[in-house]
């Protein structure tokens, strides 16, 4: 092959020619032209698609044109030789390149030393890799499923087991026996007897409406009350109710009648009912319970938590299909749990049952004679503050409390507020003695009348001129003017102080529900007329029990003791715990208390005195009469409240009795005194208190 001078210019490229098959060609080979094709500065290897479109043309050109010699091919290529850099075997090299070009029209750019190979074939699937990936996925699924199975069997198993067990459990309530209420000697005033309770499992009740219709006439409960308990419902915490009381304490025969109805989801169990053997005996104190044996009145309500105890629960696994009536079908050897009921404690009261009966009998007779609206009587052991009897008229039957109106089931002795009237005068005299304003033997100048704030006050024993009266005379004739005169010397502040010290203006703490505190006004609230009315017991609201405690303090040497009804608490095991000692406080000295007791004897001994009807044969009696008003809703009601409060024996007091009677037309004085005398005589005889054998002193009204 002839060498070409490096300085030679490339030959002129011949014009493009159209070949017979439609393709075009130039003086240059299409393969040669393809070698120089590099669109956008890319090599053929970097632009495969455009180069491949040129391949058919190049092949066609090759087939139509005669094969060029090696020299021609070499001469047609642009010279890339450099001066003095000719390589040996150039012809051989060019020939090899020409052969390579014929075999593959795709080759590297002349400026590139890289050879472009055939197009890459699609990669075949890697079966081993697929197998490994599939195995990993299956293993992951297996781990997840295995984890859930472990959770079901290990961690969640107790929860699912408990849920399944709960669906098969039948709960049965075990009512705690309610404690009894006993008198001071252990006689039962209120107790419990065997009965039945009726319950429902709402989940097993097939037709709540028809079930309610069937139970209503038997239980005596309105259908509207039964239906909500029979229909499925949930508690406040969202749990389903599977046990619902329908009636408690029903008679055994009624329970048998319910069982005979054979109603789905309805059961009958053993229960207890409240029994009050004395019916109206001490009913005002005992109170009553509701259908579920919950205390609703009296001591039953005040000590309900102590009396009722804590119910137990029995749960067992049942095997009968849903809807069966027999709710007792327990699976032998199945789940069984029982929490025993804790019985309630019993109350031993200070009440004497026999004395209570006599007080109610006498009070009932006297109140009916006077056509009284309400009445009350209290018997206190003045040394201990124990209430031995406390009656309230009219009476009601605690065994059938719902046959009476709510106002007929209260306790008048602690619940009604009255203006005490003249029984309040003992507080004024006691305060004056304690403050040294007067001595027991002194006399007081009593005017013929006194006017306070436009209100004129006078006496039932009038006198035209001021006269001097003894302290026993002022009490015997219940002188309003003498008492007001003493109160003026004492002062309003001191009188209020002694009223509070004697326990007025606050509940006694006897612990009966609904006890009234009464009302005692401080002097800042007094009107001008109050300085005349309050000393004689008008404008002051008290309860009969409060006033009984005042006279008990006078009888007890000047020491006030809180009245109370509970003597001891008896635990279910029979252990008795005495009630804690009641609070006491000294109000007046023992000497002044003794002097005042002697003065009060004038009320039942001096001729013309107001309390002559309260005498007790063979015993010395000290006391005071009173005539006041009944206060309701802050207003006086028609009629008057007559009272007598006394103690005996006067020279060695043991008991204090207070009798109050609200009569519509007055004339209550003829009731309270005789009732006191009869009750005190029985009390002294009942407790075997012998007469002292001494006679009361002789009293004078005027010195």
How many CA atoms are closer than 13 Å to the CA of 612, on its beta-carbon side?
A: 7
Q: Look at residues 442, 459, 441 and name the one whose alpha carbon lies nearest to residue 450.
A: 459
Tokens of residue 348, six digits: 């031993």
SS3 of 219, please? Answer: helix
Catalytic residue at 422? Answer: yes
**139 to 59, 148, 670: CA distances (angstroms):** 56, 14, 106
Sequence-ordered list of residues with C-beta below 8 angstroms from that of 314, at least 6 positions apart, any chain: 171, 172, 174, 336, 337, 338, 339
Burial of 534 (0-12, 13-18, 19+ CB in 10 A): buried
Q: Between β-strands 455-457 and 566-570, what pairing exists: parallel, antiparallel or unpaired? A: unpaired
Kindly give the interhelix angle for 669-686 and 353-369, rounded to the nearest 10 degrees.
160
**Whether 620 contacts 649, CB under 8 Å:** yes
Give the H or E element holding residue 97.
Answer: helix 90-103
Among the residues of 249-352, which ranges form H helices?
252-260, 283-286, 298-302, 304-308
The whole-angstrom separation of Cα 57 and Cα 28 is: 13
The whole-angstrom separation of Cα 606 and Cα 612 is: 8
The whole-angstrom separation of Cα 262 and Cα 267 is: 9
Tokens of residue 656, six digits: 């204090």
The whole-angstrom separation of Cα 624 and Cα 647 is: 10
**Whether 624 contacts 422, CB under 8 Å:** yes
Query: What are the start-end ranges of the E strands in 125-284?
Result: 169-174, 181-182, 188-200, 244-250, 266-275
Q: Look at residues 606, 615, 593, 590 and name the one whose alpha carbon lies nearest to residue 697.
A: 606
- Residue found by looking up tokens 């001096």 in the block: 606
The whole-angstrom separation of Cα 227 and Cα 602 is: 69
**Whether 203 contacts 229, CB under 8 Å:** no
DSSP string, 100-113: HHHH-S----TT--
Beta bridge partners of 342: 310
Tokens of residue 94, six digits: 């060019």
Backbone angles phi, psi at 645, to 5 degrees: -125, 125
Q: What is the DSSP letter of 505?
A: T
**Whether 534 contacts 483, CB under 8 Å:** no
End-to-end CA distance of the chain: 182
**Whether 258 contacts 162, CB under 8 Å:** no
Q: Indicate which residue of 74, 273, 422, 613 is catalytic.
A: 422
Annotated catalytic sites, by residue?
A: 422
């Amino acid at each position: 092959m002839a060498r070409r001078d490096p300085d030679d210019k490339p030959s002129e490229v011949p014009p493009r020619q159209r070949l017979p098959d439609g393709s075009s060609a130039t003086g240059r080979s299409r393969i040669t032209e393809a070698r120089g094709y590099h669109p956008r500065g890319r090599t053929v290897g970097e632009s495969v698609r455009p180069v491949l479109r040129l391949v058919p043309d190049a092949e066609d050109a090759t087939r139509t044109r005669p094969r060029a010699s090696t020299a021609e091919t070499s001469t047609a290529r642009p010279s890339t030789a450099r001066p003095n850099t000719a390589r040996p075997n150039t012809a051989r090299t060019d020939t090899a390149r020409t052969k390579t070009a014929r075999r593959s029209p795709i080759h590297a750019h002349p400026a590139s030393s890289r050879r472009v190979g055939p197009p890459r074939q699609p990669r075949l699937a890697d079966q081993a890799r697929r197998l490994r990936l599939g195995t990993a996925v299956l293993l992951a699924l297996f781990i997840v499923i295995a984890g859930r199975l472990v959770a079901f069997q290990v961690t969640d198993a107790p929860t699912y087991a408990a849920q399944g067990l709960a669906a098969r459990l039948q709960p049965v309530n075990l009512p705690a026996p309610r404690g009894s209420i006993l008198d001071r000697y252990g006689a039962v005033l209120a107790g419990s007897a065997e009965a039945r309770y009726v319950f429902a499992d709402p989940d097993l009740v097939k037709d709540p409406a028809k079930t309610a219709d069937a139970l209503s006439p038997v239980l005596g409960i309105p259908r509207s009350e039964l239906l909500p308990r029979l229909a499925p419902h949930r508690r406040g915490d969202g749990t389903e109710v599977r046990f619902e009381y329908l009636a408690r304490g029903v008679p055994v025969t009624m329970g048998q009648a319910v069982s005979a109805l054979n109603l789905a989801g309805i059961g009958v169990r053993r229960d207890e009912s409240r029994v009050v053997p004395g019916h109206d005996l001490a009913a005002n104190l005992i109170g009553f319970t509701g259908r579920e044996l919950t205390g609703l009145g009296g001591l039953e309500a005040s000590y309900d938590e102590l009396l009722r105890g804590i119910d137990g629960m029995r749960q067992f696994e049942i095997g009968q299909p849903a809807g069966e009536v027999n709710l007792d079908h327990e699976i032998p050897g199945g789940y069984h749990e029982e929490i025993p009921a804790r019985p309630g404690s019993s109350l031993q009261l200070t009440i004497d049952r026999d004395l209570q009966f006599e007080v109610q009998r006498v009070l009932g007779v006297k109140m009916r004679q006077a056509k009284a609206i309400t009445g009350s009587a209290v018997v206190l052991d003045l040394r201990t503050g124990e209430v031995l009897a406390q009656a309230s008229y009219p009476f009601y039957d605690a065994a059938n409390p719902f046959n009476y109106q709510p106002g007929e089931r209260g306790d008048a002795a602690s619940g009604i507020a009255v203006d005490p009237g003249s029984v309040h005068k003992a507080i004024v005299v006691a305060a004056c003695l304690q403050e040294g304003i007067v001595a027991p033997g002194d006399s007081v100048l009593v005017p013929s009348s006194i006017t306070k704030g436009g209100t004129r006050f006078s006496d039932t024993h009038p006198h035209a001129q001021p006269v001097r009266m003894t302290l026993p005379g002022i009490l015997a004739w219940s002188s309003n003017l003498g008492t007001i005169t003493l109160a003026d010397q004492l002062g309003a502040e001191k009188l209020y102080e002694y009223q509070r010290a004697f326990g007025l203006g606050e509940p006694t703490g006897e612990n009966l529900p609904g006890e009234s505190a009464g009302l005692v006004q401080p002097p800042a609230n007094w009107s001008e007329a109050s300085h005349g009315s309050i000393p004689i017991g008008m404008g002051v609201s008290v309860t009969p029990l409060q006033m009984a405690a005042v006279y008990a303090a006078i009888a007890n040497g000047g020491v006030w003791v809180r009245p109370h009804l509970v003597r001891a608490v008896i635990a279910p095991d029979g252990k008795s715990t005495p009630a804690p000692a009641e609070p006491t406080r000294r109000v007046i000295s023992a000497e002044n208390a003794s002097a005042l007791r002697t003065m009060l004897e004038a009320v039942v001994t001096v001729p013309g005195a107001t309390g002559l009807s309260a005498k007790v044969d063979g015993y010395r009696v000290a006391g005071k009469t009173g005539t006041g008003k009944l206060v309701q809703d802050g207003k006086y009601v028609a009629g008057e409240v007559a009272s007598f409060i006394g103690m005996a024996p006067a020279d060695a007091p043991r008991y204090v009795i207070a009798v109050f009677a609200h009569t519509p037309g007055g004339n209550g004085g003829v009731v309270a005194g005789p009732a006191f005398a009869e009750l005190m005589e029985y009390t002294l005889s009942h407790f075997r208190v012998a007469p002292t054998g001494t006679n009361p002193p002789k009293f004078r009204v005027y010195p």
